[in-house]
A = this chain, B = another copy of it.
Amino acid sequence: MPRVVVDVMPKPEILDPQGKAVLGALPRLGFSGVSDVRQGKRFELEVEGEVTDEVVAQVEKMAGTLLSNPVIENYVVRVEQDA
């Protein structure tokens, strides 16, 4: 069953303390070679019936109003076929 995925990430110019915390922890755990880490949210929505353009447009509206804060976050809506 296809699902609609919404990825919400902090805008590049916005400080991302969670990402910085992860970046700071990596060397302590012996990991190297990572220059930046950003942390955001991932939503997986299961919809009733076919994923039509109209459904995707609805999810775009949900993403811009409920799932993200457009002042500090960007979002991307994608349709994913089940693996």
Q: What residue in chain B is nearest A1 (Cβ atoms)? A: B35
Q: Is A34 an interface residue (CB 8 A)?
A: yes
Asked if B44 contacts A38 (CB within 8 A), the reply is: yes
Number of copies of this kind of chain in the complex:
2
- Contact pattern, A 21-42, Cβ under 8 Å of B = 1, otherwise 0: 0100110010101111111111
Count chain A residues whose beta carbon lies closer than 8 angstroms to a beta carbon of B: 33
- Contact pattern, A 1-37, Cβ under 8 Å of B = 1, otherwise 0: 0000001110000000001001001100101011111
Q: Is A81 an interface residue (CB 8 A)?
A: no
Asked if B39 contacts A46 (CB within 8 A), the reply is: no
Q: Is A53 an interface residue (CB 8 A)?
A: no
